């Protein structure tokens, strides 16, 4: 018969040390999948592949100056912009990983002249800006990656590039990643907005802010003031209005402008206020691209209780006519975007 151990001997065995492991990006997406009827796990797998691409891009961003990755390739992209080595590297990594995933029927990128159909049907369309804020690469300021995911309407049919030309209201998931003091991914799959921070020691994204909400209003504005002379009269009037000396009503606003959409949008999402890249005489259709900059950002801001217009209409309702279609973009707190839109449309 085995000798009975005195009851209290067990109490001396310390409870299992369960480290407080946070919620990983994968846990979060899997939980969403389990709640979605008929989910197959393909979206979770797609996001895992994208997360791998982001971590590969990050590894090069962090060593850019040492890996001869600063500066230009010498080519010009379809936008007519000089291509930076990191633009090209980030694009190549995302293309490679997405094609390898088997889930992506169509890929659209800022760095591709036309959308690319994968060799297999693939359930999803992924549209991305592989490296946003390129002008900040060589001066070590915050840059990022932006992407949107849509579901193909007929996943078994041979993919066609025109399937990418869908309005932003059809997006099923959108995210941006910031390669900044920390590496942060802000993601929505239509169930609110959640922020994940990469633990570089573990190589995993962990939930750092759940249910991010954009404040109703804030005295902060973000715009390239250098374009003032080119704006419409309505936008110039708005610009004077936010600079008036009226502390009782939150004016003058503070001005912040990094010049990377991901950085200016993230600050606006967390602190509130407004980011605007309006149409101007130089860019009458706006500068930012609808499919892989404005739409993903608009989906995220609306999911966080914010707002996104082109200065008149809702961004997510705009029907694209081309992969690289540009649009004016006004993002931020509902009060501030509505006020801007009233000035821009002559109602004030």
Q: Which stretch binds Mn ion (CB under 5 A): 44-52, 132-140, 227-235, 236-244?
A: 132-140
- Residues 203 and 305: beta-carbon distance below 8 Å: no
Nearest CB to Mn ion, comparing residues 97 and 291: 291
Min dist. Cβ of residue 187 to Mn ion (A): 18
For ligand AHG, the binding residues in 269-288 under the rule CB under 6 A are 277, 287
Q: Choose among Mn ion, ligand AHG, none what residue 328 binds, the Cβ cut-off being 5 to 8 Å by kind.
A: none
Asked if 224 interacts with ligand AHG (CB under 6 A), we say yes
- By CB under 6 A, residue 260 contacts ligand AHG: yes
- Tell me the HSE value of 315 on the side-chain side, using a 13 A CA sphere: 36
132 sits near Mn ion (criterion: CB under 5 A): yes
Please choose which of Mn ion, ligand AHG, none residue 260 contacts, taking the beta carbon within 5 to 8 angstroms, the exact cut-off set by kind.
ligand AHG
Q: Per residue, what are the HEC states of the chain? A: CCCCCCHHHHHCCCCCCCCCCCCEHHHHHHHHHHHCCCCCCHHHHHHHHHHHHHHHHHHHHCCCCCCCCCCEEEEECCCCCEEEHHHHHHHHHHHHHHHHHCCEEEEEECCCCCCEECCCCCCEEEEEEEEECHHHHHHCCCEEEEEEEEECCCCCCCCCHHHHCCCHHHCCEEEEEEECCCEEEEEECCCCEEEEEEECCCCEEEEEECCCCCCCCCCEEECCHHHHHHCCHHHHHHHHHHHCCEHHHCECCEECCCCCHHHHHHHHHHHCCEEEECCCCCCCCCCEEHHHHHHHHHHHHHHCCCEEECCCCEHHHCCCCCCCCEECEEEECHHHHHHHHHHHCCCC
Determine if 71 is a binding residue for ligand AHG (CB under 6 A).
Answer: no
111 lies in the binding site for ligand AHG (CB under 6 A) = no
Give yes or no for residue 259 binding ligand AHG (CB under 6 A).
yes
Using the contact rule CB under 6 A, the part of the chain among 92-100, 128-136, 183-191, 234-242 near ligand AHG is: 128-136
Judged by beta carbon distances under 5 to 8 A according to partner kind, the member of Mn ion, ligand AHG, none in contact with residue 259 is ligand AHG
- Binding at 280: pick from Mn ion, ligand AHG, none (beta carbon under 5-8 Å per type): none
Pick 206 or 257: Cβ nearer ligand AHG: 257
* Choice between 218 and 300, CB closer to Mn ion: 300
135 sits near ligand AHG (criterion: CB under 6 A): yes
Q: If binding is defined by CB under 5 A, does position 88 make contact with Mn ion?
A: no
- Closest to Mn ion by CB, 84 vs 341, is 84
Nearer to Mn ion, 78 or 270 (CB): 78
134 contacts ligand AHG (rule: CB under 6 A): yes
Applying CB under 6 A, does 222 fall inside the site for ligand AHG? Answer: no
Q: Interface with Mn ion includes 110 (CB under 5 A)?
A: yes
Binding-site size for ligand AHG (CB under 6 A) equals: 13
26-65 as b/e, with b when 16 or more CB fall inside 10 Å? eebbeebbeeeeeeeebbbbbbebbbebbbbbbebbeebe
Phi–psi pair at 145, nearest 5 degrees: -135, 140
Contacting Mn ion (CB under 5 A), which of 42, 88, 129, 336? 129
Residues binding Mn ion (CB under 5 A)? 110, 129, 131-132
Residues binding ligand AHG (CB under 6 A)? 110, 129, 132-135, 224, 259-261, 264, 277, 287
């Amino acid at each position: 018969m085995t000798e009975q151990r005195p009851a209290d001997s067990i109490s001396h065995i310390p409870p299992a040390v369960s480290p407080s492991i946070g919620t990983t990006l994968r846990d979060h997406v899997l939980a969403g999948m389990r709640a979605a009827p008929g989910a197959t796990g393909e979206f979770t797998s797609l996001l895992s592949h994208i997360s791998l691409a982001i971590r590969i891009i990050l590894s090069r961003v962090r060593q850019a100056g040492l890996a001869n990755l600063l500066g230009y390739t010498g080519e010009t992209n379809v936008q007519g912009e000089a291509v930076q080595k990191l633009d090209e590297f980030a694009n190549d990594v995302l293309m490679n990983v997405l094609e390898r995933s088997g889930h992506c029927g169509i890929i659209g990128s800022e760095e591709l002249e036309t959308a690319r159909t994968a060799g297999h049907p693939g359930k999803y369309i992924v549209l991305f800006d592989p490296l946003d804020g390129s002008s900040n690469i060589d001066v070590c300021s915050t840059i990022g990656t932006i992407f949107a995911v849509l579901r193909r309407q007929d996943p078994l049919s041979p993919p066609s590039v025109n399937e990418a030309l869908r309005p932003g209201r059809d997006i099923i998931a959108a995210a941006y990643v910031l390669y900044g003091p920390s590496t942060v991914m802000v993601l929505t799959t239509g169930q609110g907005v959640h922020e994940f921070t990469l633990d570089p020691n573990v190589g995993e994204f962990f939930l750092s802010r759940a249910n991010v909400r954009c404040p109703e209003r804030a005295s902060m504005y973000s715009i390239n003031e250098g374009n003032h002379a080119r704006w419409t009269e309505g936008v110039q009037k708005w610009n004077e209005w936010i600079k008036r000396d009226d502390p009782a009503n939150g004016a003058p606003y503070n001005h912040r402008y990094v010049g990377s959409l991901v950085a200016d949008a993230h600050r606006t999402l967390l602190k509130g206020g407004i980011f605007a890249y309006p149409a101007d005489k130089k860019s009458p259709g706006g500068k930012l691209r609808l499919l892989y900059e404005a739409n993903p950002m608009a989906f995220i801001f609306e999911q966080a209780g914010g707002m996104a217009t082109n200065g008149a209409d809702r961004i997510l309702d705009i029907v694209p006519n081309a992969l690289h279609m540009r649009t004016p973009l006004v993002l931020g707190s509902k009060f501030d975007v509505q006020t801007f839109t009233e000035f821009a449309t002559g109602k004030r």
